[in-house]
C-alpha cells in the first residue's frame, strides 16, 4: 500500500488535489492511504514551499498548483 500525503492549508486547490489522488487511485485499482496535512510547520518541514504538495512513500513529488493527471498516474504506479 502506498502512503500518500497531500500538503496544504485547506484551500480549494488542496482539496481538489486530494480528491484527484483518491479518484486516480480508485480508477487504477490501487490501494493507497491518503493523509491530508494542514499544519504549517509540518508542511514546511516536508520541504513544501508552494501548496498543494504531494509526497508518495516519503518522497516529495509535487509542489504548487494542481498536478498533471498523467504525471499523477505515473507517481502512483511507480
Q: Which of 14, 48, 56, 72 is catalytic?
A: 14
Q: Which of 11, 28, 44, 66 is catalytic?
A: 11
Residue pointed to by grid coordinates 500525503: 5
Alpha-carbon distance 22 to 42, whole Å? 21
Helices (H), the chain: 12-28, 40-45, 69-77
Whether residue 14 lies in the annotated active site: yes
Residue 72: in which H helix or E strand, if any? helix 69-77
Alpha-carbon distance 28 to 37, whole Å? 24
Query: Which residues participate in catalysis according to the annotation?
Result: 11, 14
Amino acid at each position: 500500500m502506498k502512503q500518500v500525503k497531500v500538503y496544504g492549508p485547506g484551500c480549494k486547490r488542496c482539496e481538489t488535489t486530494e480528491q484527484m489522488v483518491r479518484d486516480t487511485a480508485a480508477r487504477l485499482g490501487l490501494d493507497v492511504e491518503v493523509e491530508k496535512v494542514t499544519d504549517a510547520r509540518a508542511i514546511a518541514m516536508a520541504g513544501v514551499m508552494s501548496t498543494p504538495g504531494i509526497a508518495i512513500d516519503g518522497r516529495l513529488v509535487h509542489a504548487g498548483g494542481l498536478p498533471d493527471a498523467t504525471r499523477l498516474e505515473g507517481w502512483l504506479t511507480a
